[in-house]
Amino acid sequence: MRIGGFQKFSLSDFPGLTAAIVFTQGCNFRCPFCHNGGLIPETPNDGLLIPEEYVLSCLRSRAGRLDGLVVTGGEPTLQEDLADFLHKVRKIGYRIKIDTNGSRPEVIERLISEGLVDYVSMDVKAPRRSYDRLTGVNAPIDEITRSIELLSCCGIEHEFRTTRVHSLLSDRDMDEVAEMIPDGSRFKLQTFNPSRAFDRSLRAADSTQR
């Protein structure tokens, strides 16, 4: 696992549970509003990654005091050894939440089928017609749609979430995003943090939005 960050305690990232957070290194999107830009490249700017065994050791030492582990990024499903890592976390006794952009539904499906996730949060970045603009890449919209459909019927607790950036997403855009969310699935709006936006022009453009 390429781990770019590790937070030992959180009360807000795994609904209803105390959790630690692993931040995987590397993302296939270049969202201009991303607040974790340092996790986008495969190698961090300082070249340093956190050893997997260090993370597992910390989790073992906190077993019984923490309930779960959140794996976020970057994009966790890009990690070739993600399932192996989660099997190790499961053996310690943790519940697991994954944050994903939905670009690799086959990985999500595998994690679900192997019983390695209890909760999935998927970012829905924009209406389908605007996905390339909001992700900064040629977005795999068919795969994203498949992930939405998979989560809506898999029986795993899940949520879809969108970061509302007023200079990038209009009211009409948000209405179209809402239409992409299946009935019965939770949908959450996330607060945009302009101070850390990957696109520096957004740091001023949206600094006053509320």
Q: What tens digit of pLDDT does each residue of 153-168 get?
A: 999 999 999 999 999 9
Q: Tell me the pTM.
A: 0.94
Dihedral sign, Cα of residue 83, residue 87, residue 40, residue 138: positive
Quick one: which of 110, 136, 135, 107 has its CA closest to 123? 135
Q: Say how many C-beta atoms besides its own lie within 10 A of residue 208's C-beta.
A: 8
Q: How far is CA 87 from CA 98, 116, 151, 196, in A?
A: 14, 7, 21, 33
Two tokens at 34? Answer: 């991303």
Q: How far apart are CA 29 and CA 122, in angstroms?
A: 14
pLDDT at 47 (0 to 100): 81
Domain-wise residue ranges, the chain: 3-205
Question: Alpha-carbon distance 168 to 89, whole Å?
Answer: 38
Q: Which of these, 48, 27, 11, 53, lies nearest to 137 by C-alpha position? A: 27
Q: Is the pLDDT of residue 194 over 70?
A: yes
Residue 210 has pLDDT above 50, yes or no: no
Distance CA 132, CA 146 (A): 17
Using the predicted structure, report yes or no on whether residue 30 has a pLDDT greater than 70. yes
Say if residue 205's pLDDT is above 60: no
With residue 162 as reference, give the H or E element that holds it: strand 157-163
Q: Confirm or reject CATH 3.20.20.70 for domain 3-205, answering yes or no.
A: yes
pLDDT digits (tens, 9 = 90+) for 1-12: 999 999 999 999
Q: What would the pLDDT profile of 134-146 be if each residue is shown by its tens digit?
A: 999 999 999 999 9
